[in-house]
A and B are shown apart, each in its own frame.
Chain A
Amino acid sequence: MERMRKIEIPIAENLGHGHLACAGCGAAVAMRLTLKALGEKTVMVFPASCWSIVPGFWPYSSYKITAVHAGFVTAAATASGVRAALDVRGENDTLVAVWAGDGGTFDIGIQALSGAAERNEDILYICNDNEGYMNTGTQRSSATPLMAWTTTTPVTQPKENPKKDIMAIMADHHIPYAATATIAYPEDLIRKLEKAKVIRGTRFIHLFSPCPPGWKMASEQTIKISRLAVRSRIFPLYEIENGRVYTIQEESRVVPVKGYLKLQGRFSHLSEKDIEITQKNVDDAWERLLRRARC
């Protein structure tokens, strides 16, 4: 049944306009939606990333919630400290969240994240994954996908290693909740954030955000590409509870990866063979996800 329906999202605008994100920034859509879901009773810790600059320069900030800028390495550790302080002061119902990029999560921040997860710190960690160090001009991170162009993986020697499976890593820390989400599915994202909000312990959201300049794509395609990522199974949507119980939000209209790759200049050097390999890797990864979900 198809009735005309609105996409329902919370009303509060907790990210003010006038911010410095590029036109069409996927992370800006993500941040705006996320802050709507998290609400005012939140302290958000954010390490170095585009979001050190985007909210604006002192004395101004587009954040309408409490936001604490932290050292690049330290997001999860700083958040652990904030959590401890709030608990000491009796503010147990204030949410402590982290907004870190893929660099600050997969690479330099992974120690702090792993430590916090192992201690099951009561924080909601959101990794905004745009698959590279975009703030510093598009260098590769361990979240950059195989064969992608970045400034440190030029076309003559594109990224040789596959993307790190951060969800598997987090699941194996046995944290109560981990989920993938992306901006083209706003209700799914908000549902997962609201679900995560009320769980105690370490919650991890892997949030996929296209980056027009870094991925060399047209700014108006941001949502489309996010959607294609899910439909092509490059970035499937699923949840893992307690490291064991998987719930996969299956997309009915599956498409080949080619359509996703062709829209992004960072993959324009891929040959037909490369695309075939990518398709095979995506298919294998999907199979692996299904297997892990079953056991």
Chain B
Amino acid sequence: MPQRSDLSQRGGEMKRVITGNQAVAYGVILSRVDVVSAYPITPQTTIVEELSELIASGRLKTKFLKVESEHSAMAALIGASTGGVRCFTATSSHGLAYMHEMLHWASGARLPIVMVNVNRAIGPPWNIWSDQSDSVSQRDTGWIQLYCENNQEVLDTIIQAYLIAETVKLPVMVVLDAFVLSHTAEPVEVPSIEEVDAFLPPFCADYAIDTQEPRAYSVITTPDYFMEFRYKIQKAMEEVPEVAKKVDDEFKARFGRGYGSIERYGKDEAEVLLMTSGTVTSTSRIVIKKLMEKGLSVAGVKMKRFRPFPSDEIYEVIQGAKKIAVIDRNLSAGVGGIFSQELRASLYLREQRPPVFGFVSGLGGRDITPELIEEAIQYTIENDRPKDEIVWLGLKR
């Protein structure tokens, strides 16, 4: 188990200026993770390096399996989690894609694994910069997905993720942007291990391996029963909003910081809403503020939780909005930005169905500048309905 020794002693202050990857490492340590298994890939590497050093120095009793691929990393965690211990891995892009089969396995086996994915483009063309396509492509694998706007949120989300995961028995993916967060230092308040211990109890698995009670795990299941197991997973997903809220409220009460599943900011009852996720939200906040000062009826919605899709929460905050603009830093070729598609689907059966404008931008790490965001909002204001399914921002012609 990680010792309390290092953190308080390291500089004495609780507030540190650390990169997103370092924040991840702290989150892992504070959550008393027992087994880490990871394979390096830019821009996740410094997470792994940080953890290695701490474990090698003996300050962390965590076992670190330096596996030979991401697929094996997730497989090893599946083994370890079945063994009833708290596990962690981190990856990005191609690594995440390589793990795909095992992502299904982790959720199918109801293992509360927490993984950090640093959003990076999947090639070719070869690209190491920020892009959400890797994580959103895994939306069908039964993982809860939580997106982070800043390094503080990264650290906090990891701690919350374990509690959520271990309550609903589903794995959680915590997502942060490549380089913009992973390698950028920000001030982060790092809680003490005692505080986290008071919040996050030790993990006690329902069906941990017990050689005194021999069982076979993940036995082949016929059509007679398979659907019922899948039903249970869906039911677990349906519990997440309530569980996540409870966890977040509790976290806020203890640590003074809460995030919700979404966050609405800007003008009340604005006509135009801008939905963003990840670090784009930080930039959007500035743009919205500026436009509000200009008198425009605009507001922003930060998407923290992507899976399960927070339909109810979103519907609540879009009351009165005439149009919604979604900026997707991802593309599902043939259909468009995924957040916009999911939003459209979630509104379809509702009474109020404001038109959703789907903007795609920032793929492969292209900066989503305040100008581009403003352009998106302007386009939305000026058009009743989007002229195209997909509106590309900043595309070079």
Q: Which residues of A contact B (CB under 8 A)?
A: 40-43, 45, 52-53, 55-61, 63-71, 73-74, 76-89, 91, 94, 111-112, 114-115, 118-119, 121
Cβ–Cβ contact A89 & B84, under 8 A: yes
Cβ–Cβ contact A71 & B69, under 8 A: no
Query: What separation, in Å, do the CA atoms of A119 and B313 have in the docked complex?
Result: 47
Query: What separation, in Å, do the CA atoms of A76 and B215 have in the docked complex?
Result: 20
24 contacting pairs across A/B (C-beta < 8 A): A52-B220, A63-B216, A70-B78, A73-B72, A73-B75, A77-B75, A81-B35, A81-B37, A81-B83, A81-B87, A82-B80, A82-B82, A84-B37, A84-B63, A84-B65, A84-B76, A85-B80, A89-B84, A89-B85, A94-B211, A111-B72, A112-B75, A114-B68, A119-B66
Number of chain B residues whose Cβ lies closer than 8 Å to a Cβ of chain A: 41
Cβ–Cβ contact A74 & B72, under 8 A: yes
Known contacts A73-B71, A74-B71, A84-B65: does B77 contact A64 (CB below 8 Å)? no
Main secondary structure of the interface of A (DSSP, over half): mixed
B12: Cβ under 8 A from any A Cβ: no
Q: In the assembled complex, which residues on chain A have CB atoms less than 8 Å from the CB atom of B216?
A: 55, 61, 63, 66-69
Query: What separation, in Å, do the CA atoms of A68 and B72 have in the docked complex?
Result: 16
Nearest CB on B from A12, distance (A): 12
Q: In the assembled complex, which residues on chain B have CB atoms less than 8 Å from the CB atom of A71?
A: 71, 75, 78, 101-102, 105
Cβ–Cβ contact A115 & B75, under 8 A: no
Q: In the assembled complex, which residues on chain A have CB atoms less than 8 Å from the CB atom of B66?
A: 119
Q: In the assembled complex, which residues on chain B have CB atoms less than 8 Å from the CB atom of A61?
A: 215-216, 219
Nearest CB on B from A122, distance (A): 11
B31: Cβ under 8 A from any A Cβ: no
Q: Which of B63, B67, B75, B217 contacts A67 (CB 8 A)?
A: B217
Q: In the assembled complex, which residues on chain A have CB atoms less than 8 Å from the CB atom of B211?
A: 40-43, 65-66, 91, 94
Q: Which of A41, A42, A73, A81 contacts B77 (CB 8 A)?
A: A81
Query: What separation, in Å, do the CA atoms of A23 and B85 have in the docked complex?
Result: 40
B328: Cβ under 8 A from any A Cβ: no
Q: What would 16 more interface pairs be, CB under 8 Å, given A66-B217, A77-B71, A81-B83?
A: A57-B219, A57-B221, A58-B220, A61-B215, A68-B209, A69-B217, A71-B101, A73-B71, A77-B67, A86-B209, A88-B61, A88-B83, A112-B68, A112-B72, A114-B68, A115-B72
Most-contacted residue by chain B among A53, A79, A87 (CB, 10 A):
A87
Cβ–Cβ contact B83 & A85, under 8 A: yes
B5: Cβ under 8 A from any A Cβ: no
Cβ–Cβ contact B85 & A85, under 8 A: yes
Most-contacted residue by chain B among A61, A64, A79 (CB, 10 A):
A61
Cβ–Cβ contact B217 & A85, under 8 A: no
B residues 214-236 near A (Cβ < 8 Å) are 214-222, 225
Cβ–Cβ contact B72 & A85, under 8 A: no
B386: Cβ under 8 A from any A Cβ: no
B382: Cβ under 8 A from any A Cβ: no
Cβ–Cβ contact A78 & B79, under 8 A: yes
Q: Which of B209, B219, B221 contacts A85 (CB 8 A)?
A: B209
Nearest CB on A from B3, distance (A): 15
Nearest 6 CB-CB pairs, A to B? A85-B83, A81-B79, A115-B68, A74-B75, A77-B72, A81-B76
Q: In the assembled complex, which residues on chain A have CB atoms less than 8 Å from the CB atom of B83?
A: 43, 81-82, 84-86, 88-89
Query: What separation, in Å, do the CA atoms of A106 and B11 have in the docked complex?
Result: 51
Cβ–Cβ contact A77 & B221, under 8 A: no
Known contacts A69-B219, A84-B35: does B76 contact A78 (CB below 8 Å)? yes
Cβ–Cβ contact A85 & B75, under 8 A: no
B281: Cβ under 8 A from any A Cβ: no
B residues 77-98 near A (Cβ < 8 Å) are 77-85, 87
Smallest CB-CB separation from B66: which chain A residue? A119
Query: What separation, in Å, do the CA atoms of A114 and B69 have in the docked complex?
Result: 11
Smallest CB-CB separation from A66: which chain B residue? B214
B248: Cβ under 8 A from any A Cβ: no
Query: What separation, in Å, do the CA atoms of A70 and B72 have in the docked complex?
Result: 11
Nearest CB on A from B105, distance (A): 6
Known contacts A71-B101, A86-B209, A88-B63: does B219 contact A81 (CB below 8 Å)? no
Nearest CB on A from B88, distance (A): 12
Query: What separation, in Å, do the CA atoms of A56 and B219 have in the docked complex?
Result: 8
Q: In the assembled complex, which residues on chain B have CB atoms less than 8 Å from the CB atom of A41?
A: 211
Cβ–Cβ contact A88 & B34, under 8 A: yes
Smallest CB-CB separation from B102: which chain A residue? A71
Smallest CB-CB separation from A75: which chain B residue? B75
Known contacts A53-B220, A58-B221, A89-B84: does B214 contact A40 (CB below 8 Å)? yes
Cβ–Cβ contact A57 & B76, under 8 A: no
Q: Which of B67, B69, B82, B222 contacts A58 (CB 8 A)?
A: B222
Q: In the assembled complex, which residues on chain A have CB atoms less than 8 Å from the CB atom of B206?
A: none
Most-contacted residue by chain A among B67, B73, B81, B83 (CB, 10 A):
B83
Known contacts A69-B216, A69-B217, A82-B80: does B102 contact A74 (CB below 8 Å)? yes
Query: What separation, in Å, do the CA atoms of A60 and B215 have in the docked complex?
Result: 10
Smallest CB-CB separation from A64: which chain B residue? B214
